[in-house]
Amino acid sequence: MKKIYIAAFVVSAFIFTGCADDFLDVEQTESISTDDIELFNNDAGASQFVTSIYNKFLNWDMTSFGWIGLSSITSDDADKGSSPGDTGTDKDVLDALTYNASNPSAESTFNANYDGINRCNQALNIIPKLDKADPNLTARLIGEAKFLRAFMYFTLVKCYGGVPIVDHLPVPGNDADRIMQLTRKTAAEVYTFIESDLNDAIAALPEKSAYGANERSRASKGAAYALLAKVSLYQKNWQKVVDNCNKVTGYTIVDDYASMFRPAGKFDSESIFEIYAQGPSTGKVAKGIEGYSNTQNPRGTGGWGWGFNTPSQSLVNAYEPGDVRKAATIIFRGQTLYDGREIPNTVDNERYNYKAYSSAYTRDWETDVDIKYLRYAEVLLMKAEALNELGQTDLAIPLLNQIRKRANLGPTPAVSQSDVKIAIWKERRVEMAFEHDRFFDLVRTGQAKAAFAADGKVFVEGKHELFPIPAAFLKQAGTLSSQNPGGY
């Protein structure tokens, strides 16, 4: 009987750990027969393969402690926090930029994204074979899987530079597939692959407005265009940034900035793509993000969390007087929060991340706070940055001022191209603080060394632009891959 593999052959337990969601009921190295595949040969079965990809973003290893460490604690927006004696395994060395190739957060983030890519490849392998499912649905699901795979590869290329491109479900025993899994490609090749996936996704995905109320978390055409614009931003393809931003339609910035990070702000008019946390799991129906809020909530007497990833004094100083985003981003010791919770003066740190605060489930491991990864405000700022780089500063300034007006600030005083560039960079910082962009923004704009020096950290150019490729991966890859520069 013909066998159809629904999960990747695991060449390396390090690269692909964990199995598909339990509703698939198949371990990673197992296969199902053509008879058994009929269990999935319907609309619900097809959808489950893609749902398992979204569910990966709710996992501890994908979205919580390690990712917070790499994307936020390393930046000048945040300090380690917690208590002096609690290193958080490696959060102290991340904060000090003294990590090495054995760093647990660099390893878990690398590993988790490849696990997610594995799930994408499972879906892309099986869904075209489900001939009893609605072909319109399966086409959309393939588009979603490609968007999510592109999203994960974008995370990987930002963090590590060139990485292996696993573009299909590996076949057990196939040496070419083993080499594919262990061979680093260049960053340029990874970007090309991301763009190909996003263009395929754009062709297959509907607009956000076409989804029903129970499908709000699914990727849309607008999300694919927004991510493609961001991919172009990182490559300094300025005209492509503008062109793709112009295709993100049907969104508006909301009036109340703080509302976006509260339960009522889930999937508002500004949200383009966010990770949907429904709250503590009830069987397979609802699930929150594992540990995302708990690890960042206030710590100490009267606190209830671990207290990591605390706003830095540098970030506090970055806000202009009257900027409403400061109060929406930073919890201060002694204040009363929007839901009436009081933060006592006895907690360990002066400040905490308000965007990670969950009102309803702060004492549970799974929390209902969503993570907004793409917002329309960022689309406006990306377009403004690109227009300014193209010499169209007069068109960039109104976009910048639109964001400032929402923040209760007056028009920017910047006029020249060079001053507007700096103004846009500053606006990105305060607009998107604690949304996992600051470290990568500093690197891509060349501000890192000076910004870290001002925050008391030493950023080594030629080294700290990229995190180390995990030593465990390189040990298995042998001569097929090599470490990033900088003496890791």
Per residue in 357-414, pLDDT (tens digit) is 988 765 557 888 999 999 999 999 999 999 999 999 999 999 999 999 999 999 999 9
DSSP designation for 275: E
24 with 155, same domain: the answer is: yes
111 with 178, same domain: the answer is: yes
Give me the pLDDT at residue 3, please.
40
Let me know if 389 is exposed, middle or buried by CB neighbors in 10 A (0-12, 13-18, 19+): buried
Length of the chain: 488
Amino acid at site 32: I
115 with 248, same domain: the answer is: no
What pLDDT band is residue 10 in, cutting at 50, 70 and 90?
Answer: very low
More confident residue, 31 or 200: 200
351 with 397, same domain: the answer is: yes
Distance CA 276, CA 151 (A): 15
Distance CA 202, CA 166 (A): 21
Distance CA 458, CA 486 (A): 14
Determine contact, residues 219/205, Cβ cutoff 8 Å: yes
261 with 176, same domain: the answer is: no
Mean local confidence (pLDDT), 30-37 = 57
Distance CA 359, CA 339 (A): 7
Number of structural domains found in the chain: 2
Let me know if 364 is exposed, middle or buried by CB neighbors in 10 A (0-12, 13-18, 19+): middle
169 with 55, same domain: the answer is: yes
Residue 228 lies in a domain: no
Residue 283 lies in a domain: no
Distance CA 55, CA 288 (A): 10
- As a whole-number percent, the residues of the chain with pLDDT over 70 amount to 90
Residue 222 lies in a domain: no
37 with 98, same domain: the answer is: yes
Residue 206 lies in a domain: no
Q: Report in angstroms the alpha-carbon separations of 417 from 109, 278, 332, 386, 394.
A: 37, 44, 36, 11, 9
Q: Which helix (H) or strand (E) holds 79?
A: strand 78-81
Question: Per-residue pLDDT tens for 84-137?
Answer: 999 999 999 999 999 999 999 999 999 999 999 999 999 999 999 999 999 999
Closest among 113, 199, 109, 204 to 151, alpha carbons compared: 113
Residue 26 lies in a domain: yes
Amino acid at site 372: K
Least confident of 133-137, 262-266, 447-451: 262-266
- For 435, other C-beta atoms within 10 Å of its C-beta total 20
Mean local confidence (pLDDT), 186-190 = 98
Residue 35 lies in a domain: yes
pLDDT at 49 exceeding the cut of 50: yes
Determine contact, residues 232/241, Cβ cutoff 8 Å: yes
40 with 162, same domain: the answer is: yes
Give me the pLDDT at residue 359, please.
80
Which domain CATH number covers 158? 1.25.40.390
175 with 93, same domain: the answer is: yes
Radius of gyration (C-alpha) of the chain in whole angstroms: 22
Parent domain of 156 = 1-185+441-482
148 with 61, same domain: the answer is: yes
Residue 16 lies in a domain: yes
- As a whole-number percent, the residues of the chain with pLDDT over 90 amount to 85
pLDDT at 240 exceeding the cut of 90: yes
Residue 414 lies in a domain: yes
393 with 471, same domain: the answer is: no
151 with 260, same domain: the answer is: no
